[in-house]
């Protein structure tokens, strides 16, 4: 589980529809896993020498995987306590 201030800051960086979807999750661990995936994407971009995407500008299709327009394809999965 993330500290409340960290969770709030990360949720606030998301587009409203994605934020609302994560806030509806019953389990805090599920929210934390999704937010950890986002943190990994940003860290991977930096490590690859790319300017990290602005989270609110990622495309978050309903029930689909996020897309980084003008960025590389990526996939981040989470389950069972691992991201």
> What are the tens digits of pLDDT across the range 69-81?
889 988 888 777 7
- pLDDT tens, residue by residue, 3-54: 899 999 999 999 999 999 999 999 988 899 889 989 999 999 999 999 999 9
- Cβ neighbors of 48 (< 8 A, separation 6 or more) are 72
- Distance CA(34)–CA(50), nearest Å, equals 21
pTM score of the predicted model: 0.82
Cα separation, 79 vs 73, whole angstroms: 21
pLDDT for 60 equals 85
Cβ(7)–Cβ(32) below 8 Å: yes
């Amino acid at each position: 589980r993330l500290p409340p201030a960290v969770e709030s800051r990360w949720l606030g960086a998301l587009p409203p529809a994605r934020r609302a979807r994560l806030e509806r999750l019953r389990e805090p661990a599920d929210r934390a896993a999704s937010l950890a995936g986002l943190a990994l994407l940003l860290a991977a971009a930096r490590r690859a020498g790319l300017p990290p995407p602005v989270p609110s500008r990622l495309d978050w299709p309903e029930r689909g995987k996020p897309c980084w327009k003008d960025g590389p394809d990526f996939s981040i999965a989470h389950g069972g306590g691992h991201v």
